[in-house]
Structure 1
Amino acid sequence: MRDVLFLPATGDSEMVIATDCSGGIGEKANDILFVADNVVAYFAMRVAMMELLSVGATPSAVILSNFTGEKSWQAYMSGIQKVYEELGMNPLPLVGSTETNMMLQQSALGLTVLGTVLKNKKRIKKTPKNAAFAVIGVPLAGEKVLTEQALVAPLSLFKKCLDTPGVFEIVPVGSKGIFYEFQLMLTMNGFDRYNVDCSLPLNESSGPATCFLISYNRTFEQELQALCGRHFHKINIEY
């Protein structure tokens, strides 16, 4: 299944929960990777929001679990705010908690986004057999996320792809890589045997969803290539 949880809600709708976490990345002396706290929160929020939006859900609230300490709260909030700005949406209601009893030696946080979706509007299992596929962005992880930011698929572009007619499904790519997510997409849509070819490394980690998969109607390919520019990487599939 996709990296979201669907729970029964009222009538024809379902609750949707998406989450992401980070540990050992931040501004503390013992962190494995030194990154500004607002950037850490931005990417965690980016992942959770992309997961939620990609299945057709409307976000409604955010939960912030801050294990780093009180001094990091405002920076984390700043990173979350940047996600709202890039998606062109208003801030969501937020509840959170900060660990103040124990002073951890490394940074850690968790971000969870809640939302709802109508059952008949869920964007899963929507890819037909004659669909085309592409990766938007490049898989990056660790320090490369910061040093090669120009290769990261922008959130604004992700939103445009969501709203583009002809796009069937969108799947954010995480640490298991492009091939894992692509294989999962095809299996969920009933595709059987296939060979995959792409110019990008298929098994490298995409860290905080620096790229995402799309399935689309072939007649929209030129429009999508123009929209995504250098971020567009076609996937060729043979049966």
Structure 2
Amino acid sequence: MRHELQMGEWVITSDNSAAIGEKPHDVVAASDKITAKFAARVALLEQWAAGSDPEAMLLHNFSGEIQWNRYVEGIHELFAEIGIEAPKIVGSSETNMETMQSGLAVTMLGRRREEINSESLQWFIYGMPLVGKEVLEKREQIADMKKIYEALREGLAAQIWPVGSKGIAKEAEHLFGRKISMADEVDLEVSGGPASCVLIGVRPEQIESLKPHFGQYVFPLEMEAPR
């Protein structure tokens, strides 16, 4: 579920993960590094969606002391792949009680760099909605963070909006205030998991550059007419 708090120029975003990791009772088996990387991915995308960049990061580790360094490594890997420096990470670990399943949360604090005007944009889906094991098995279908970052900085994308567990249709309805429809290429109702896909708002003159930049997993959104 998407959580974001805006306080003046400050933007606070957060994502959590439970029962995903390396513990025997976890529902989804994944490396601790990958688990933290995807939690940080969601929080970072929400920062970009709000027109801000993170300046500080909190890691809440409920898994145990040994997981801390693995989680930090995964977060640093995310930022390294994008080609930007990670903010300093602070936080705490649960060391008093042994937990049966993995759990962590990543919170980012950033300052808004610009106001975003959504008017006159045409919207597209980038990436496929994936959840659970699909995220590990179909990585080529996941929206690439570096490509998103470059598109925002170069002006190809005017705005983005990450898709979470409620799916594309719900996120789009929240963003636009009306329903969307499209062809059969993408399921609009299924979970987008750890923001495996995003909505991208593009100015009309930039549309022809979308496919060359993002590749094959770009699909237009069709809006229902306002009532």
Please tell me the TM-score bracket, short chain as reference: over 0.9
Q: What pairs up with 1:219-234 in 2 under 5 angstroms?
A: 219-234=205-220
SS for the counterpart of 2:205 is: helix
1:65 pairs with one of 38, 48, 60: 60
One-letter amino acid matched to 2:101 = Q
User: Does residue 213 of the first structure (1) align with residue 213 of the second (2)?
Assistant: no
Q: Does 1:171 align with 2:161?
A: yes
How far is the alpha carbon of 1:165 from its aligned partner? 2.3
Distance 1:117 1:54 in 2: 10
TM-score when scaled to structure 2? 0.93
Deviates more, 1:215-224 or 1:174-183: 215-224
1:43 aligns with 2:38: yes
Question: Structure 1 residues 195, 58: closer, same or farther in 2, change over 3 A?
Answer: closer
Computed over aligned residues only, the root mean square deviation of the Cα atoms, in angstroms, reads 1.5
1:108: which partner in 2? 103
Q: CA contact under 8 A between 1:57 and 1:122: conserved in structure 2?
A: no
Q: Measure, in 2, the Cα distance between the counterparts of 1:78 and 1:105.
A: 22
Runs (4 or more) in structure 1 with deviation over 3 Å come to: none
Alignment partner, residue 6 of structure 1: 6
8 Å CA contact retained: 1:58, 1:116: yes
Q: Which residue of 1 aligns with 2:181?
A: 196
Gaps of 5+ in 2: none
Aligned mate of 1:137, from 122, 127, 131: 127
Query: Which runs of 5 or more structure 1 residues have no equivalent in the other structure?
Result: 9-13, 188-192
**2:142 maps to which of 145, 152, 175:** 152
Distance 1:170 1:164 in 2: 14
TM-score by length of 1: 0.88
> Which moved further from structure 2: 85-94 or 134-143?
85-94
Q: 1: CA distance between counterparts of 2:43 and 2:127? A: 17
| Distance across 2 between alignment mates of 1:231 and 1:195 | 18
- Percentage of pairs with the same residue: 34
Q: How many residues align?
A: 223
Identify the residue that residue 81 of structure 2 maps to in structure 1. Answer: 86
Q: Identify the residue that residue 122 of structure 1 maps to in structure 2.
A: 115
Which deviations, in whole Å up to 9, do the C-alpha atoms of 1:129-177 show, x marking residues without a partner? x432100000000110001111001111111221242533210000011
